[in-house]
Structures are given as structure tokens and as C-alpha cells.
Amino acid sequence: MNDNALWYLENIDVTGIFCPKKLGDTAEDKHAYKNIKKGQNIYLPEDDSDKIYFISEGRVKIGSYGMGGKEITKAILGKGEVFGELSIVDDGKRRDFALAMEDSKLCVMAKENMKNMMKDHSGLNMFFMKMMGKRALDMERRLESLVFKDSRSRIIEYLAELVKKSGQRVGYEMLVRKFITHQEIANITATSRQTVTTVLNELRTKNLITFDRKRLLIRDIEELKKEIL
């Protein structure tokens, strides 16, 4: 199960909230359904922060731009995950961008409609509190990793986190489908594409992993973790 699927902990049917199977007389005013093409921006920094999104299908990258326009990837989200949630507590502009990494289907709700629902549903409040708290902790851990660990360790640590989040057991090995590019790993770990390529090739030479453009296979996750300094 996806670690970010927090509604299971609160028995909240987020899919039903964002993407109801049946629309009532006023539901069309509350819900929007969008098909987003690969590479298309969903929102950009300085766009109005007025909507919350649920990923019905596909993958979405959340990031920002640093000095000199350098892209910083903050999260890569998949089916069943929510983003744009800061609009609930911030009436200003977006600080991040959201971009479709593949053809995606999104269910969208205006923040005012979500706020109204939250007034009547304590479980929904808890869902958003836990989601925001978890993402804050994830960012804190990434910052600590950036400060205290070298590039190689940060890359290996990210691979281990990726397996924990979306890996599937295949015998004694762990498989991650839809493996991201070396540049995306570099953007997430604050390293360079060349460093990512070097580390991945080194791990493959040690027979700890195999990979191609579509998948990553971890031979032994515990042995891989031992490579983190």
C-alpha cells in the first residue's frame, strides 16, 4: 500500500470526495475532471492558490525554481495522492509548480468547497493535518540529508525511500516500475545527473541493483542500505 494513502488510516474515501461516481444537481459546480498531457503544467509559481487536486491516474511532479532558474523537485506523486493542499491555509499565490510527468487524469475541487466539507467532517480535517505533517517531516528529513550526508549517500537513500513507497516484492527482490530519469533523481537529491549515473552504475556493478528507463530492481534492500554512510 502506498504510504501516502493516508485516508485508509482515517477511513476517509478521498476518491469519492474528489471523484464521485454519481453527480448530484449541484455537484458539477464543486468538481472538475481534467485530462493533462505529459509535460503540461498544472499550475506555476504566482498562480492563484485556489484549488486542490487528486490524482486519479498518472504521475505529477511538484517542484520549485532556485538560483538561476535551477529546478528543484520536491515530490513525485502518483495515483491516489492529493496535492495543492496548501491552498486550504494560504490565500495567496502558488510558490511551487506542478507538472504532469505522464498523461494524467485529475479530479479538482475549489478550496472553498473543500473548506465547507471540512467543517462538517472531522475525519477530513485529520486527513489533511496528517498529510501536511507527513510532507513537512519528509522535507525536514531531506534537509538533514542534504546537510549531513554526501551526494552518494543521498542518492542511495532516495532509492531506498522509493522502494519503501512504491516497490513491489518479486521473490527476494524489490521492483519499482516507472523508474524516473537520472536528472529527476539529481533534482530530488540536490546532486548532478553525472553523479547519479556514476552511483547507479557502481551499484549495478556490485550487483545490488539493475535498472533501465522503465524500472528499477533492488537485489537486496538491506545490503543497499549498508551503502549509506
pLDDT of residue 89: 84
Q: Which residue has the cell 517542484?
A: 63
- The pLDDT, as a whole number, for residue 11 is 55
In the chain, DSSP finds a helix count (H) and a strand count (E) of 9, 12
Instruction: List the domains of the chain with CATH numbers.
Output: 7-137 (2.60.120.10), 149-225 (1.10.10.10)
Q: What pLDDT, in 10s, does the model give residues 117-159?
A: 888 877 888 888 888 888 888 889 888 998 999 999 999 999 9
The most confident of 52-66, 106-120, 123-137, by mean pLDDT = 52-66
Q: How far is CA 225 from the centre of its chain?
A: 22
pLDDT of residue 8: 42
pLDDT digits (tens, 9 = 90+) for 193-218: 999 999 999 999 999 999 998 999 99
Sign of CA dihedral 166, 129, 99, 140: negative
**CB neighbour class for 76 (10 Å; exposed up to 12, middle 13-18, buried from 19):** buried
pLDDT at 26 over 60: no
Q: Percent of the chain having pLDDT more than 90?
A: 57
Cα–Cα dist 87/94, whole Å: 8
Distance of CA 58 to the CA centre of its chain: 11
- pLDDT recorded at residue 181: 93
User: Residue 7: its pLDDT value, please?
Assistant: 38
Say yes or no to pLDDT of 91 above 80: no
- The residues, any chain, with a CB within 8 Å of residue 12's CB and separated by 6 or more, are 123, 124, 127
pTM to 2 decimal places: 0.82
Task: Summarize pLDDT for 6-15 with one digit per residue, the tens.
Answer: 434 445 677 8
173-194: per-residue pLDDT in tens? 999 998 999 999 999 999 999 9
